[in-house]
Amino acid sequence: MSPGGRSRNTGPHRASRTSQWPFIGIVVLLIALIILTPNLFSSGSAGLQTRAQLIVERASTSGNTSFYVESIGTSTLYQSIAVGFAPMPAWPYSGTGTGIENWTWTNETDTLALVATSAANPVAVDVAVIYAVPSSGVTTEYIGMYGFYLNATTLTLDAVNLLPGAAAPPASTPLADLPIFLTLAISTPTGPTQ
């Protein structure tokens, strides 16, 4: 006990010591975010900023389904984007891409995005996007293969060859709820720093 009969663990001084912990926690969290954020948005290699996605849309007055390939949320310059379309042999499809033939390809180089359309139904869509960092020689490929079937009210999707990291498509989407966004899988980065 301290002079005056009061315990050292009571009174205004103890409250001020314990009220500092939330502020210390916030400071630690901010420091962690400052350290980690440059790694998430690094331009020296593939990361969150360069991640590619396939966007599927269909206008109600059109007989075509539109496919957009671009980065998620930013303007990333890709070395190349290729989208292939092929009629599917059957629906539902129960294969891994074998038996799908007569591919028609749309390609762009040094581009931010690619837009392609298809009137085939059902249609297989194969996407390959290459992001390269010229200063380091590192390249990353984003890939995905999906099947789409359209009826009067619904777009039904199937992952023809779903790779780890790719977005699993919803079973079906009403046309009124389009567009849908599918994150492409990251293939293994290659280059001198690997």
Q: Which domain holds residue 28?
A: 1-40
**pLDDT tens per residue across span 38-97:** 544 444 455 666 789 999 998 767 778 999 999 887 778 899 999 999 998 888 777 777
Asked, for residue 194, whether it belongs to a domain, the answer is no
CATH number, domain containing residue 91: 2.60.40
**Nearby residues of 135 by Cβ (< 8 Å), 6 or more positions away:** 44
Could you tell me if 33 and 111 lie in one domain? no
Q: What is the pTM of this model?
A: 0.70
**Residue 192 domain-assigned?**
no
Give Cα separations from 88 to 3, 50, 69, 95, 156 (angstroms).
88, 30, 21, 10, 13
80-138, pLDDT tens digit by residue?
A: 999 999 998 888 777 777 778 899 999 999 999 999 999 999 999 999 999 887 777 78
